[in-house]
C-alpha cells in the first residue's frame, strides 16, 4: 500500500489523509523523501550552467516542497496527538531531517551557484521577491557553516543534530510532567469560589477517569480558574507549586522529567555553534536574522520599556498586597495568591470578573464574528467546509475566498484534551507557491488552541482573554494565507525576521477591544444578546488593570533570554537560575518563591524558535500598536487602510525587510508611544 504521507501533493486536492496516516508511516516517508531531495538536488546542480532562477531556485523549491508538506503533518500530529508511538516515530525522523538540512546548508556547489547568480547580470532582472530569496539563501549558507573546514562542518552537523534531540526531549518532559499531575477532590466545598462552568468541567474530567467528585489538572483551562477564583488557599499553593516546578528537580515528580541538564547542554551547544560561525555568543548569532541590528539594541529596547513600567508595576503590586491584607485577610500575599487577589480587586474596583463576559462569547459566535471582522478589513469570505480528513472529530476545516476565488484553507483545532501540547499556535501545512506547471499552490494552515470544550448543555464559552488568543493565532494564519508571494522561501511567514513575525498576530488583537467589532462576535449563548454596553464599558475601564505588572513580566522573560544567550561562557555568566534572579531584581514587580523553576518549562526558548529572540513579542507589539493607530485615525473598519495593511504587510510575506514594509504602510518609522498609550503606561 502507498504510504499516505507520500501522496499529499496529488491526493484529495492536496490535503493529508489523516484517517490513513499513522506513526508507522512517518519514518519511511521522511527517509524516502529526503533521499529523493538529495538526489534531485545533485541532478539539478549538474544541469545548471550558468545558474539562473529557472534552472536553480525553481527546481530546488519544487524538490523540497513534498518533504516540507510531509514533515508539516508529522510535526503537527506530534503536537496534537502526542501518543508514545507518535512521539517515538517523530523522534526517529529528527536526525534524518537535521542531517539533510545541514547537508544542504553546507553544499558548496549549491552555494557557489547561488553566488554566481547573485553576481550575474541576470540578478538585476529578478523580481524583488526573487532577489530576497537569493540574498537570504546566501546568508543562510554562511549561518550553516558553508565556509567552515571539513572538520568544522562535521562539528556543526553534530551540534545541530544534538540540539534537535534536546529540544524535543525538553518539550516532551514538560508534557509528561504536566500530565502526570492531577488533584482529585471529593467535595465541591474544597473548590468554593470556582465558577460553575469550571466546576462542571472538573466534574466531567473526574467522570472521564472513572472518579467521583472533581479533578483538577495543570492544563490551563483547569488550572487557571482555580488560581483565580478558588478560596481554598492551600489548594492554590499546591497547584502553584506543581505548576512552577514542572520538569525540574523539585515538585511532585521531582527529578523524573528534569530539564536542568538539558538546558545546560542546549546553552553549551548554542555557544559552541556561535563561536564556530565566528560570533561572540548565540545572542549575537541570533541577531543575524532579526530586525534589531545588535544585542545591545534589543536590550536597550527592553530597558527603555522597563524604565517606563517598573515603578508602575511595583505600585500595582503594592495595591494588591494592601487589598489582600485589608479585604481578604491575607496578611502576607504569596505568589499563589496573586491571581486570586487580582481577580478580587478587579471585581471590587470595576465590578467585573473575567468570567462575567464568558456567556457572551460562545466559540461559534466568536469565530463567525471574527470572520466578519476580516471580511470588512480585507474583503475576504470564509466558510466552513467538510474536512477531507481530520485527526480528531472536533477539528473544523475552512475555505477562504477573495472575489469568489479560493485562495487558502485552514484547519481549526480549538479544545484542550489529553495528549495535546498546551498553548496555542499556528503552523503552515502547505505554503503558497507557483509549481513547475505554472499553477499556484494554495496555502493551508493549522490553527491550534486549548480552550475548555462544550460542557453538558452549554456550548464552548470563551473568556475575553481566550477571544484575544484566537484572534492572535488567526492573525498569524492570515499572514500565512493572504500572502501574494509565489516563492515559498518568502511566502507567508517564511523569510520574515523573527522580531516582526508577531506583528500580524498582535495587530489582530486590537479588534478585541473595539465596541464596533465586539458587536460582531459577541452574543449571549442563550439569548443571542450582544455584549451589553454596561459590561463593555467595565471591560474597557479594566483593560489596563495591572498592565504594568503584565508588561514587566514580559520584559523579565525577554531580558532573561537575551542575557542567558549573551553571557553564557563569559566572565559575566551567573548560571541559569542566578541569571533569572538577577533579571527579576532589575525589572520584576515582586519576588517569587525560591522553588520557582519557570525556566524548566520555558519552551519558547528551549524548544521553540525564540532563543535570544523572545524580545520579539514586545518589539512586534510596538509595530502592532503603531500600525493600529492608523486605524484609530481613519476608522477601525476603514477599507482603504485595511487594504493597505493587506497589500503592504500581509501580502508581502518575507519578500522585503519588515522595516521597509512598515514604513511604507505607516509612512514613517515605528514609535513606542502607541504601545505605552494602549497599555495605560503613558498618556
Can you tell me the distance from the alpha carbon of 580 to that of 558, in angstroms, rounded to the nearest whole number?
11
Res 10: pLDDT: 44
Same domain for 28 and 114, yes or no, is yes
Task: Please report whether residue 123 resides in a domain.
Answer: yes
Quote the pLDDT of residue 50. 87
**676 falls within a domain:** no
| CATH number reported for the structural domain that contains residue 413 in this entry | 1.10.1370.40
Question: Can you give the residue range of the structural domain that contains 485?
Answer: 358-541
On whether both 523 and 390 belong to a single domain, the answer is yes
H/E run at residue 78: helix 58-80
> Which tens digit of pLDDT belongs to each residue from 357-379?
999 999 999 999 999 999 999 99
Do residues 277 and 306 share a domain? yes
Residue whose C-alpha cell reads 517606563 in the numeric block: 308
The answer to whether residue 1 scores a pLDDT higher than 80 is no
Residue 162 lies in a domain: no
What distances in angstroms separate CA 196 from CA 225, 229, 233, 674, one per listed residue? 11, 11, 19, 38
DSSP notation for 91-139:
HHHHHHHHHHHHHHHT-HHHHHHHHHHHHSGGGGGS-HHHHHHHHHHHH
The DSSP line for 250-288 is: SSTTTTTT--HHHHHHHHHHHHHHHHHTT-SSHHHHHGG
Overall average pLDDT of the 90-108 stretch:
97
188 and 218 in a single domain? The answer is: yes
Q: Nearest Cα to 482, choosing from 467, 504, 498, 449?
A: 504
Mean pLDDT of 411-439: 94
Query: Between the CA of residue 358 and those of 22, 195, 196, 465, what are the distances in Å?
Result: 37, 11, 12, 10
Answer whether residue 156 is part of any domain: no
- Mean residue pLDDT of the chain comes to 95
Residues 535 and 571 in one domain: no
**pLDDT of the residue at 48:** 66
The domain boundary residue, chosen from 487, 519, 541? 541
CATH number at residue 52: 1.20.1050.40
Residue 202 falls within a domain, yes or no? yes
Residue 375 CB burial class (10 angstroms; 0-12, 13-18, ≥19): middle
C-alpha cell at 216: 483538577
Q: Are residues 48 and 196 in the same domain?
A: no
How many distinct structural domains can be found in the chain? 4
Residues with Cβ within 8 Å of 330's Cβ and at least 6 positions away in sequence, in order, are: 233, 324, 337, 341
- Average of per-residue pLDDT across 91-97: 96
**Share of residues in the chain with pLDDT > 90 (%):** 93
Q: Residue 679: what pLDDT?
A: 86
Count other C-beta atoms under 10 Å from residue 167's C-beta: 19
How far from chain centre, in Å, is Cα 536? 28
Helix, strand or coil for residue 566? helix
Neighbours of 386 (CB within 10 A): 6
Q: Flag whether 15 is in a domain.
A: yes
Same domain as 527, residue 570: no
**Distance (Å) of CA 147 to CA 82, 91, 187:** 39, 30, 66
Q: What is the pLDDT of residue 11?
A: 40
Q: Are the CB atoms for 228 and 258 separated by under 8 Å? A: no
Domain final position from 541, 574, 593:
541
Residues 6+ positions from 498 with CB-CB distance below 8 Å: 289, 290, 609, 610, 613, 616
β-bridge partners, 409: 399, 444
473 included as an active-site residue: yes
Q: Which of 316, 343, 355, 473 is labelled catalytic?
A: 473
CA–CA gap between residue 544 and residue 674 (Å, rounded): 14
Looking at the fold, whether 516 and 372 belong to one and the same domain comes out as yes
Chain mean position to CA 91: 21
Which residues sit opposite 412 in a β-bridge? 396, 447
pLDDT digits (tens, 9 = 90+) for 129-183: 999 999 999 999 999 999 999 999 999 999 999 999 999 999 999 999 999 999 9
Amino acid at each position: 500500500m502507498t504510504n499516505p504521507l507520500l501522496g499529499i501533493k496529488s491526493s484529495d486536492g492536496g490535503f493529508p489523509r489523516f484517517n490513513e496516516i499513522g506513526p508507522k508511516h512517518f519514518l519511511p516517508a521522511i527517509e524516502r523523501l529526503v533521499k529523493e531531495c538529495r538526489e534531485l538536488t545533485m541532478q539539478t546542480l549538474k544541469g545548471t550552467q550558468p545558474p539562473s532562477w529557472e534552472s536553480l531556485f525553481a527546481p530546488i523549491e519544487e524538490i523540497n516542497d513534498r518533504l516540507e508538506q510531509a514533515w508539516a503533518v508529522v510535526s503537527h500530529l506530534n503536537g496534537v496527538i502526542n501518543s508514545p508511538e507518535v512521539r517515538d516515530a517523530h523522534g526517529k525522523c529528527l536526525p534524518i531531517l537535521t542531517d539533510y538540512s545541514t547537508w544542504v546548508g553546507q553544499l558548496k556547489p549549491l552555494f557557489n551557484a547561488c553566488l554566481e547568480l547573485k553576481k550575474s547580470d541576470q540578478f538585476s532582472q529578478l523580481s524583488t521577491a526573487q532577489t530576497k530569496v537569493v540574498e537570504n539563501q546566501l546568508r543562510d549558507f554562511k549561518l550553516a557553516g558553508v565556509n567552515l573546514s571539513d572538520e568544522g562542518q562535521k562539528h556543526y552537523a553534530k551540534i545541530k543534530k544534538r540540539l534537535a534531540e534536546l529540544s524535543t526531549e525538553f518539550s516532551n518532559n514538560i508534557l509528561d510532567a504536566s500530565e502526570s499531575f492531577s488533584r482529585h477532590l471529593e467535595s465541591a466545598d474544597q473548590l468554593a469560589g470556582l465558577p460553575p462552568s469550571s466546576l462542571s468541567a472538573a466534574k466531567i474530567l473526574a467522570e472521564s477517569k472513572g472518579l467521583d467528585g472533581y479533578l483538577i489538572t495543570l492544563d490551563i483551562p483547569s488550572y487557571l480558574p482555580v488560581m483565580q477564583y478558588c478560596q481554598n488557599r492551600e489548594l492554590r499553593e499546591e497547584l502553584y507549586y506543581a505548576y512552577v516546578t514542572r520538569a525540574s528537580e523539585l515538585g511532585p515528580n521531582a527529578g523524573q522529567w528534569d530539564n536542568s541538564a538539558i538546558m545546560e547542554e542546549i546553552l553549551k551547544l548554542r555557544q559552541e555553534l556561535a563561536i564556530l560561525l565566528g560570533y561572540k555568543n548565540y545572542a549575537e548569532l541570533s541577531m543575524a536574522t532579526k530586525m534589531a541590528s545588535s544585542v545591545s539594541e534589543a536590550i536597550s529596547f527592553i530597558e527603555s520599556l522597563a524604565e517606563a513600567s517598573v515603578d508602575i508595576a511595583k505600585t500595582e503590586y503594592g495595591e494588591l498586597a494592601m487589598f489582600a491584607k485589608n479585604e481578604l485577610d491575607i496578611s502576607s500575599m504569596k505568589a499563589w495568591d496573586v491571581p486570586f487577589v487580582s481577580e478580587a480587586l478587579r471585581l471590587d474596583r470595576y465590578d467585573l470578573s473575567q468570567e462575567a463576559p464568558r456567556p457572551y462569547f460562545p466559540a461559534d459566535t466568536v469565530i463567525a464574528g471574527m470572520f466578519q471582522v476580516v471580511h470588512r478589513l480585507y474583503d475576504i469570505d470564509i466558510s466552513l467546509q467538510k474536512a477531507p480528513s481530520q485527526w480528531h472529530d472536533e477539528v473544523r476545516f475552512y475555505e477562504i475566498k477573495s472575489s469568489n476565488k479560493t485562495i487558502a484553507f485552514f484547519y481549526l483545532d480549538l479544545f484542550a484534551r489529553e495528549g495535546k501540547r498546551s498553548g496555542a499556535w499556528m503552523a503552515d501545512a502547505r505554503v503558497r507557491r507557483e509549481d513547475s506547471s505554472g499553477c499556484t499552490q494554495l496555502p493551508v494552515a493549522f490553527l491550534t488552541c486549548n480552550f475548555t470544550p462544550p460542557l453538558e448543555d452549554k456550548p464552548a464559552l470563551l473568556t475575553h482573554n481566550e477571544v484575544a488568543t484566537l484572534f492572535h493565532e488567526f492573525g498569524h494564519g492570515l499572514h500565512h494565507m493572504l500572502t501574494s508571494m509565489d516563492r515559498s522561501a518568502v511566502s507567508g511567514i517564511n523569510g520574515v525576521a523573527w522580531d516582526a513575525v508577531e506583528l500580524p498576530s498582535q495587530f489582530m488583537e486590537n479588534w478585541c477591544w473595539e465596541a464596533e467589532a465586539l458587536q460582531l462576535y459577541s452574543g449571549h449563548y442563550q439569548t443571542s444578546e450582544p455584549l451589553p454596553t454596561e459590561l463593555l464599558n467595565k471591560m474597557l475601564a479594566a483593560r489596563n488593570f495591572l498592565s504594568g505588572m503584565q508588561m514587566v513580566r514580559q520584559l523579565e522573560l525577554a531580558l532573561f533570554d537575551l542575557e542567558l544567550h549573551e553571557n553564557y561562557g563569559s566572565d559575566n555568566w551567573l548560571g541559569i537560575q542566578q541569571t533569572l534572579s538577577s533579571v527579576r531584581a532589575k525589572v520584576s514587580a515582586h519576588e517569587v518563591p525560591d522553588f520557582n523553576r519557570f525556566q524548566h518549562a520555558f519552551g519558547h526558548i528551549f524548544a521553540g524558535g525564540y532563543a535570544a529572540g523572545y524580545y520579539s513579542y514586545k518589539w512586534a507589539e510596538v509595530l502592532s500598536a503603531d500600525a493600529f493607530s492608523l486605524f484609530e485615525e481613519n476608522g477601525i473598519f476603514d477599507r482603504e487602510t485595511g487594504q493597505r495593511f493587506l497589500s503592504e504587510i500581509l501580502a508581502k510575506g518575507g519578500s522585503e525587510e519588515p522595516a521597509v514594509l512598515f514604513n511604507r504602510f505607516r509612512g514613517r518609522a515605528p514609535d513606542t508611544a502607541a504601545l505605552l498609550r494602549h497599555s495605560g503606561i503613558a498618556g
